[in-house]
Amino acid sequence: MTYKTGLDFAVLQDREDPLSHYRSKFHIPKHSDGTDTIYFCGNSLGLQPKSTQSYIDQELKDWAELGVEGHVHGTNPWLSYHELLTDNMAQIVGAKPIEVVVMNTLTTNLHLMMVSFYKPTKTRYKILIEADAFPSDKYAVESQLRHHGYDDKEGLLLWHSRVGEELARYEDLENIIKNHGHEIALVMIGGVNYYTGQFFDLNRITTLGHDHGCIVGFDCAHGAGNVKLNLHQSGADFAIWCTYKYLNSGPGSLSGVFVHERHAYDNKLNRFTGWWSHNKETRFKMRDDFDLLPGAEGWQLSNPPILSMAAIKASLDMFGEAGMDNLITKSRKLTGYFEFLLNELKNDNIKIITPSQPGERGCQLSIQVKNANKNLHQKLTEAGIISDWREPDVIRCAPVPLYNSFKDVYTMVERLKIILNAQ
Ligand SMILES: *Cc1c(COP(=O)(O)O)cnc(C)c1O
């Protein structure tokens, strides 16, 4: 696609964008001057669909009118409410319905997955993560190492990017696995790195790990709803993600879990269980011996928070309607346009650290600004641009295909130019 500078190009792209009407289905936070902000923080907290309110109201109404009977006689009976999310969620992450469930929150699910899939032995107990993993993931794996009696420094292997480089290289991962594969119990990588926006080749990493006898899992918090994950086809053992970033389901909302079909009927796999992992048919007899549900559902513990699930349903119904393929087509155009305009600034002080290949990134661009400090981020915010600042010198911006426009991208770069020139 050829891009052009100038506002008229952005206006034309918006006019021809088959998804442009979705923007009006979201609440866009306002700038202090009353105009819409340029919201580029969907990678951190996605915006609220206007439909969310009515989805939650429906459940409040059923609760008010039916009380406990809502479990069975509600408009969307609560006992099976999570099942209403499964098909859309499976589509979004490229999985089979039996491989997917929505439950708990992200870091909790990472621990539950490690209960089952981190199976250290005397000689094979190490965990490999990327050096720049999201802090919660690092803390979680370190605590698992300690929980099993290992030293969390000695037991943790880090996939570093090279000195002077931002992106991690596969050759380096291959070297670590070649040299240490026999000691590694678990490879746990962020599917899309939260800092650089680098989208890893899940298939390649899984194959590499499996060839050396390691279990492979991914944290797809920055991937779900953003890139084509193809989790089933990747062959990964498990994956987890949250629904409040690209999946627009509200602060602290529940997490999605993928467990590969090959583990669906393995009831020897160690796991923590509760009444929601028990056979649905006999769950309420309350007397039976434990009878495990097959698939990802067999990792559920509790009856879930329906109000949060209603918000997830509102969002996933919209994703189902818009279609992941259409969203990705727009996303690539939108982010490509963003990259083009930033490069057109020809400003040596800014550098995009996110990969330039569309297949190796989602919508986020991480922009490194030489000699910048948080002041720059403050100025952007004052100019009505909601972005995200990561120490020491990176602004993360995510133009989200569901609600951001080409004009948003144009305006952002115009304002950035003014701010950079004034510095
Ligand atoms: C956002 C994010 C988290 C946050 O974890 P919560 O348990 O939802 O608070 C963890 N890991 C990654 C990679 C993330 O991007």
Distance 167 CA to ligand 1 centre (A): 20
The atom of ligand 1 lying closest to the CA of 134 is 13
Cβ 215 vs Cβ 185: under 8 Å: yes
pLDDT at 283: 86
Tokens, residue 202:
């899940």
Buried b (16+ CB within 10 A) or exposed e, 67-96: eeebbeebebbbeebbebbbebbbbbbbbb
Residues in the chain: 423
CB atoms closer than 10 angstroms to residue 235 = 17
C-alpha dist (Å) from residue 13 to 1, 95, 387: 12, 32, 23
The CATH classification of domain 82-303, taken from the options 3.40.605.10, 3.40.640.10, 1.10.3720.10, 2.130.10.10:
3.40.640.10
DSSP per position, 102-114? EES-HHHHHHHHH
The atom of ligand 1 lying closest to the CA of 221 is 15
* Same CATH fold assignment for domains 7-50+324-421 and 82-303: no
Contacts of 218 (CB under 8 A, 6+ apart): 188, 189, 190, 191, 200, 202, 205, 231, 234, 236, 238, 239, 240
Query: What residue spans of 221-373 are helical by DSSP H?
Result: 231-234, 306-322, 324-344
Assigned CATH topology for domain 7-50+324-421? Aspartate Aminotransferase, domain 1 (3.90.1150)
CB atoms closer than 10 angstroms to residue 16 = 9
pLDDT at 282: 86
pLDDT at 321: 97
Contacts of 224 (CB under 8 A, 6+ apart): 92, 93, 241, 242, 243, 245, 246, 247, 256
Q: Is the pLDDT of residue 308 over 90?
A: yes
Cβ 224 vs Cβ 92: under 8 Å: yes
Kindly indicate the confidence band of residue 165, based on its pLDDT and cuts at 50, 70 and 90: very high
Cβ 341 vs Cβ 406: under 8 Å: no
Distance 45 CA to ligand 1 centre (A): 11
| DSSP state letter for 349 | T
Q: Is the pLDDT of residue 373 over 80?
A: no
Cα separation, 384 vs 388, in Å, equals 13
Tokens, residue 139:
């803390």
Distance 402 CA to ligand 1 centre (A): 22
Q: Is the pLDDT of residue 391 over 90?
A: no
Distance 111 CA to ligand 1 centre (A): 12
pLDDT at 238: 98
Q: Is 175 annotated among the ligand-binding residues? A: no
Distance 107 CA to ligand 1 centre (A): 6
pTM: 0.97
Q: Is 244 annotated among the ligand-binding residues? A: yes
pLDDT at 392: 87
Mean pLDDT of 322-349: 97
Give strand pairing partners of 361.
198
pLDDT at 422: 86
The pLDDT tens digits of the residues spanning 36-91 come to 999 999 999 999 999 999 999 999 999 999 999 999 999 999 999 999 999 999 99
Q: Is 135 annotated among the ligand-binding residues? A: yes
Taking phi over 0 as left and psi of -120 to 50 as alpha, with beta for the rest, 362 belongs to beta
CB atoms closer than 10 angstroms to residue 174 = 14
| DSSP state letter for 27 | P
Distance 13 CA to ligand 1 centre (A): 33
User: Where does ligand 1 bind, in terms of residues with CB under 6 Å?
Assistant: 105-107, 134, 136-137, 190, 194, 219, 221-222, 242
Max CA pair span of the chain: 72
Give strand pairing partners of 102.
256
| DSSP state letter for 292 | B
Among 386, 354, 297, 109, smallest CA distance to 220 is for 109
Cα separation, 397 vs 381, in Å, equals 12
Q: Is the pLDDT of residue 217 over 90?
A: yes
Distance 248 CA to ligand 1 centre (A): 14
The pLDDT tens digits of the residues spanning 115-132 come to 999 999 999 999 999 999
Q: Is the pLDDT of residue 199 over 90?
A: yes
Helix, coil or strand: residue 185: strand
Q: Is the pLDDT of residue 288 over 80?
A: no
Phi/psi of residue 352, nearest 5 degrees: -85, 120
Residue 386: CA count within 13 A, CB half-sphere: 21
Among 41, 107, 390, residue to substitute to test ligand 1 (most atoms within 8 Å of Cβ): 107
Q: Is the pLDDT of residue 224 over 90?
A: yes
Residue 261: CA count within 13 A, CB half-sphere: 11
Q: Is 137 annotated among the ligand-binding residues? A: yes
Q: Is the pLDDT of residue 338 over 90?
A: yes
Q: What percent of the chain has pLDDT over 90?
A: 93
Place of tokens 């083009």: 340
**Which residue type is seen at 187?**
V
Cα separation, 303 vs 180, in Å, equals 41
pLDDT at 287: 75
Cα separation, 231 vs 202, in Å, equals 8
CB atoms closer than 10 angstroms to residue 222 = 29
C-alpha dist (Å) from residue 378 to 50, 59, 311: 28, 40, 31
Report the mean per-residue pLDDT for the chain: 96
The pLDDT tens digits of the residues spanning 8-40 come to 999 999 999 999 999 999 999 999 999 999 999
Q: Where along the chain do its domains lie? A: 7-50+324-421, 82-303
The atom of ligand 1 lying closest to the CA of 106 is 7
Q: What is the 3-state secondary structure (H, E, C) of 366-404?
A: EEEECCCCHHHHHHHHHCCEECEEECCCEEEEECCCCCC
The atom of ligand 1 lying closest to the CA of 133 is 13
| DSSP state letter for 267 | T
Among 134, 189, 218, residue to substitute to test ligand 1 (most atoms within 8 Å of Cβ): 134
Q: Is 219 annotated among the ligand-binding residues? A: yes
What is the dihedral sign for C-alpha 131, 137, 138, 144? negative
The atom of ligand 1 lying closest to the CA of 245 is 1
Protein residue closest via CA to atom 1 of ligand 1: 221
